[in-house]
């Protein structure tokens, strides 16, 4: 690392102010003076116009033209045949897991380095999470770790994968494209096929991320997206199930619409369903947001390039995509040298109005998931102590190019 200036106030922490100020200077040059949010939404297109049209139409709930338009726009963009809009990404993943065949008492392979929604959706099905490690360069599930775990613990009998340590069926694998950086999903997909395990991609953070010319979320039977208020585009709250399977798509729409049998006036429901459909008002936001997604992606790539250039001599590792991939750079991430350095920077930056954040606490360290089987999670633990997300919003100076 380059020259350092250490500063101690009383008995407080010893700050590496030269390094930390270098990072804050990069944030300031990209995003302006503090306060600086981590990621804010941008409403600079037709959002108000389309919301007004919804209100005028009286269709503001889960029935309305905007829902279908939003689904079609997302399906076209990612290259999937079908998309089904839901109230949030967690609901989308819950139903996607059910559609993949996950049942109570099963096991689902996933990663401990993820947002809580991934594990909660698994828990809603009554399944048990099993955590395999991630790669340091993608922050997503490691295919090498996945194969090692399967070779040591799983046997396939009559087309079903069984965990020989627990006696449970493994009914799905859910990798996550962390912060929009594509995991080694093609390798993961092949491994899952080798072991007859359905692949469900948690692509909540990766709308606009590509592996070659193929969008994330199109490698498995199903995938899910999120449009939460902090995502690259937002519907306020919202999610999406995408698939190429028409049968699964129809069933997704049925289950998320309280399993109501279509009828002109009767209310008949043929199974336990969920009130998970996205309201038309939220879909109106989504339609307007999709109109500027391509431009947003260009701006996001520029922000990432700015961080890489300005922090090149800092000694920090700036997380980037794998060769051959195009991340959406939803959240930019850097790796500090140690847990102490990470925490000192977080205290320093937030005290100055810069909203930097650590990566999530590992799922395996949360009380409700602490007893889940895992493979040691060496990389996950290493990353947990070092990853920091830097402000990644579209700067106000770039708003002009986003207006309709």
Least confident of 15-24, 230-239, 371-380: 15-24
CA distance 93 to 295: 28
Is residue 14's pLDDT more than 70?
Answer: no
Q: What is the pLDDT of residues 328-367, one digit of tens each?
A: 999 999 999 999 999 999 999 999 999 999 999 999 999 9
Q: What is the pLDDT of residues 370-381, one digit of tens each?
A: 999 999 999 999
**pLDDT at site 403:** 72
Q: What is the pLDDT of residues 193-203, one digit of tens each?
A: 999 999 999 99
- DSSP annotation of 106: -
Contact between residue 156 and residue 294 where contact means Cβ atoms under 8 Å apart = no
Confidence of residue 41 (pLDDT cuts 50, 70, 90): very high
Contacts of 132 (CB under 8 A, 6+ apart): 109, 110, 111, 141, 142, 145, 146, 149, 374, 375
Closest CA to 293 of 202, 175, 180, 140: 180
Domain residue limits at 190: 47-290
**pLDDT at site 7:** 54
As for how many domains the chain has, the answer is: 1
Output the average pLDDT for the chain. 95
Confidence of residue 240 (pLDDT cuts 50, 70, 90): very high
**pLDDT at site 12:** 53
Contact between residue 71 and residue 84 where contact means Cβ atoms under 8 Å apart = yes
CA distance 399 to 196: 47
The count of C-alpha atoms lying within 13 angstroms of the C-alpha of 86, restricted to the half-sphere facing its C-beta, is: 31
Which H or E run includes 378? Answer: helix 378-384
In a domain, 307, yes or no: no
Contacts of 167 (CB under 8 A, 6+ apart): none
| Percent of the chain residues past pLDDT 90, beyond the cut | 91
Contact between residue 122 and residue 129 where contact means Cβ atoms under 8 Å apart = yes
Is residue 13's pLDDT more than 80?
Answer: no
Is residue 305's pLDDT more than 80?
Answer: yes
In a domain, 297, yes or no: no
Contacts of 51 (CB under 8 A, 6+ apart): 281, 284, 285
Average pLDDT over residues 33-56: 95
| Percent of the chain residues past pLDDT 70, beyond the cut | 96
Is residue 63's pLDDT more than 90?
Answer: no
Q: What is the pLDDT of residues 136-145, one digit of tens each?
A: 999 999 999 9
| Token reading at 145 | 């770790």
Confidence of residue 65 (pLDDT cuts 50, 70, 90): very high
Average pLDDT over residues 26-41: 96
In a domain, 371, yes or no: no
Average pLDDT over residues 135-163: 98
Is residue 402's pLDDT more than 80?
Answer: no
Degrees, nearest 5: CA angle 387-390-393? 140
| Token reading at 211 | 């592996």
**pLDDT at site 399:** 74
Average pLDDT over residues 269-292: 97
In a domain, 369, yes or no: no
In a domain, 201, yes or no: yes
CA distance 351 to 276: 39
Contacts of 361 (CB under 8 A, 6+ apart): 384
In a domain, 397, yes or no: no
Is residue 72's pLDDT more than 50?
Answer: yes
SS3 19: helix
CA distance 306 to 27: 9
SS3 223: strand
**pLDDT at site 51:** 96
Average pLDDT over residues 150-162: 98
In a domain, 311, yes or no: no
Side by side, the strands of the sheet bearing 82-86 are 82-86, 239-243, 222-226, 200-202
Q: What is the CA radius of gyration of the chain?
A: 22
The count of C-alpha atoms lying within 13 angstroms of the C-alpha of 286, restricted to the half-sphere facing its C-beta, is: 33
Is residue 2's pLDDT more than 60?
Answer: no
Domain of 271: which CATH number?
A: 3.40.640.10
Confidence of residue 163 (pLDDT cuts 50, 70, 90): very high
Average pLDDT over residues 98-108: 98
In a domain, 163, yes or no: yes
CA distance 397 to 48: 21
């Amino acid at each position: 690392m380059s020259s350092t200036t250490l500063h101690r106030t009383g008995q407080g922490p010893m700050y590496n102010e030269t390094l930390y100020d270098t990072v804050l200077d990069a944030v300031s040059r990209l995003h302006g003076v503090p306060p600086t949010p981590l990621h804010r939404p941008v409403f600079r297109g037709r959002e108000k116009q389309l919301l007004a049209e919804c209100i005028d139409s009286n269709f503001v709930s889960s029935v309305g033209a905007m829902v279908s338009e939003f689904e079609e726009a997302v399906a076209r963009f990612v290259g999937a045949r079908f998309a089904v809009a839901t109230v949030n990404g967690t609901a989308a993943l819950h139903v996607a897991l059910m559609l993949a065949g996950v049942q109570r008492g099963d096991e689902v392979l996933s990663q401990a380095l993820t947002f809580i929604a991934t594990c909660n959706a698994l828990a809603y099905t009554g399944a048990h999470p099993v955590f395999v490690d991630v790669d340091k360069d993608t922050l997503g599930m490691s295919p090498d770790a996945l194969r090692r775990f399967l070779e040591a613990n799983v046997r396939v009998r009559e087309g079903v994968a069984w965990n020989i340590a627990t006696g449970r069926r493994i009914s799905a694998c859910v990798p996550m494209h962390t912060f929009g950086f594509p995991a080694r999903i093609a390798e993961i997909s092949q491994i899952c096929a080798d072991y007859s395990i359905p692949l469900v991609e948690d692509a909540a953070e990766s709308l606009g991320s590509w592996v070659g010319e193929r969008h994330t979320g199109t490698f498995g039977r199903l995938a899910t997206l999120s449009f939460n208020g902090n995502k690259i585009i937002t519907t306020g709250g919202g999610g999406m199930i995408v698939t190429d399977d028409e049968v699964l798509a129809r069933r997704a729409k049925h289950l998320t619409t309280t399993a109501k049998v279509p009828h002109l006036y009767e209310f008949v429901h043929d199974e336990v369903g969920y009130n998970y459909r996205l309201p038309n008002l939220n879909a109106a936001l989504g339609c307007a947001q999709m109109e500027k997604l391509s431009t947003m992606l260009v701006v996001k790539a520029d922000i990432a390039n700015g961080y890489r250039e300005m922090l090149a001599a800092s000694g920090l590792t700036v997380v980037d995509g794998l060769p051959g991939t195009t991340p959406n750079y939803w959240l930019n991430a850097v790796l500090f040298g140690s847990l102490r350095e990470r925490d000192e920077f977080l205290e320093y930056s937030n005290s100055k109005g810069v909203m930097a954040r650590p990566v999530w606490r590992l799922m395996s360290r949360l009380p409700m998931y602490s007893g889940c089987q895992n493979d040691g999670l060496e990389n996950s633990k290493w990353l947990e102590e070092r990853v920091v997300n830097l402000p990644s919003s579209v700067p106000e100076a770039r708003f002009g190019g986003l207006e309709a």
